[in-house]
Structure 1
């Protein structure tokens, strides 16, 4: 049996050891990396029940679905059926991309309400607006109207106990009539009701600095998309850790900036897709 004196001596030795090895204090975070399912957009409609288990086997703990509709669900599965498929494979889906084009065009909130219904069934925290068509952003007035509707959707989602997020591409960093859409979104939306899913690749494609954004707007970016940029052709993606984006540095800063969800996304592949997503998550787990 260890007496009090021995315990205190051992505790002192452990404390000294930690001082000598500060790396132990900054151990890997073991983030539960997710995968945006757009990577398998061609295969999912054909065989969703085969693909989801393979994603889990590759080492992912989370997925981010897209393309839900009330009539077709998630690739032919109802929200309840898709939730069971995820549960059976040890996966969760904290967020999903939901198209709100009909709502943004007409103001009819049915699409928002259906997204909320599906999100609750899946146990999601975030309803993500994935894209704004040009018709919703082709003038300063149009952008103002669009943001008003986004605020309405975000308020409705908030009242339902969920959060809404906006996913960027590169066009948000361009100006229309002297105004930058990304600035308008950041400055004219409620910080409690609308967060952002910062797509690192698209930020860099736009010539912007993701680290500067994370530092300037701490707590606003709760989710990030992690996809790497091909070194020879920036238009193409590649496996995380083999491209030109310094994710080791970015991820080391992301948590302290308020990021909670880390989602791998790759839209094009030079190698087998399953091997590709395995390579990406292996690298991410290595760097923590």
Structure 2
């Protein structure tokens, strides 16, 4: 029996190695990345149609909007449809998600989105357990209404301050574990997980079914992080030129429930950095 067991183990290891060799050299990121509207916020505010033409030229077909840029949702949807671009996620403020859930749901549906996202929990000073408890209750309420009435998935986008220590983990762990997975999912922001000292890939592996969306961004080399949830926008750099281990994060993401991969670059240099980022993603292999 022992010999048979060892033979089986050797066979399994061999097959595993063959699998690794078979993957070696294959493209890691085969999707066309999506784009967060905030990257092109100034341009979209001035001329949405021309900016969407630029995005189409870059090959972007998937967007996350966090503003309607002075238009109605149907007007913005028309511009997107004309260019073959889809809005998969609609970002709103915490207060609107909580107090104008109906309006938010209607706008998201008009845009053609499947997700509604909140990226900031209003707070002053360090993020506390009491704040996290209120957040959990609010998110469960928002998520249930959006799911029941509109068939939408509600997501929370981490921003760094939620990684205050709590028990054996952090308050981000508390929020993930205490929210109802039927109604609340998450959008991982790579930079805002790394900045407060976390490992984005490990976070995905810890909660493989809770993250549905991801913001792909990199942090300038030499910049030290903290729990503030803020850093100058100039510290956003093209993927692959900063501190994050992008390939490892993407490998973890590929094995998770993440469905949409958005580029977000808040830097004023986005016009040169975005094409650089797209080229970098295409260059990655296993």
TM norm structure 1: 0.81
1:181 Cα deviation after fit: 2.7
Q: Is the 8 A contact 2:39 2:266 kept in 1?
A: yes
Q: Is the 8 A contact 1:199 1:224 kept in 2?
A: yes
The farther-off stretch of 90-99 and 27-36 is 27-36
State the match for 2:259 in structure 1.
260
Secondary structure of the residue aligned to 2:86 is coil
Matched, 1:204 2:186: no
State the match for 1:91 in structure 2.
85
Distance 2:164 2:63 in 1: 30
1:235-246 maps to which residues of 2 (within 5 A)? 235=231, 236-246=235-245
Matched, 1:129 2:103: no
Question: Runs of 5+ in structure 2 lacking a partner?
Answer: 1-17, 225-230
Equivalent position to 2:103, from 109, 114, 120: 114
Q: Which has the larger radius of gyration?
A: 1
Distance 2:71 2:108 in 1: 14
- Shift of the 279–103 alpha-carbon distance from structure 1 to 2, 3 Å rule, reads closer
1:143 Cα deviation after fit: 3.0
Equivalent position to 1:158, from 121, 137, 147: 147
Distance 1:122 1:171 in 2: 30
Secondary structure of the residue aligned to 2:186 is strand
- Shift of the 161–266 alpha-carbon distance from structure 1 to 2, 3 Å rule, reads same
Matched, 1:275 2:265: no
Q: Is the 8 A contact 2:117 2:155 kept in 1?
A: yes
State the match for 1:9 in structure 2.
none
- Shift of the 29–231 alpha-carbon distance from structure 1 to 2, 3 Å rule, reads closer
Distance 1:41 1:97 in 2: 13
Q: Give RMSD over aligned pairs.
A: 2.7
Secondary structure of the residue aligned to 1:41 is helix
Question: Runs of 5+ in structure 1 lacking a partner?
Answer: 1-17, 68-73
State the match for 1:101 in structure 2.
95
Secondary structure of the residue aligned to 2:214 is strand
Equivalent position to 1:227, from 207, 217, 226: 217
State the match for 1:51 in structure 2.
51
State the match for 1:40 in structure 2.
40
Secondary structure of the residue aligned to 2:139 is helix
1:40 Cα deviation after fit: 2.1
Distance 1:49 1:220 in 2: 34
Q: Is the 8 A contact 2:29 2:281 kept in 1?
A: no
Q: Is the 8 A contact 2:157 2:187 kept in 1?
A: yes
Give the total of aligned pairs. Answer: 258
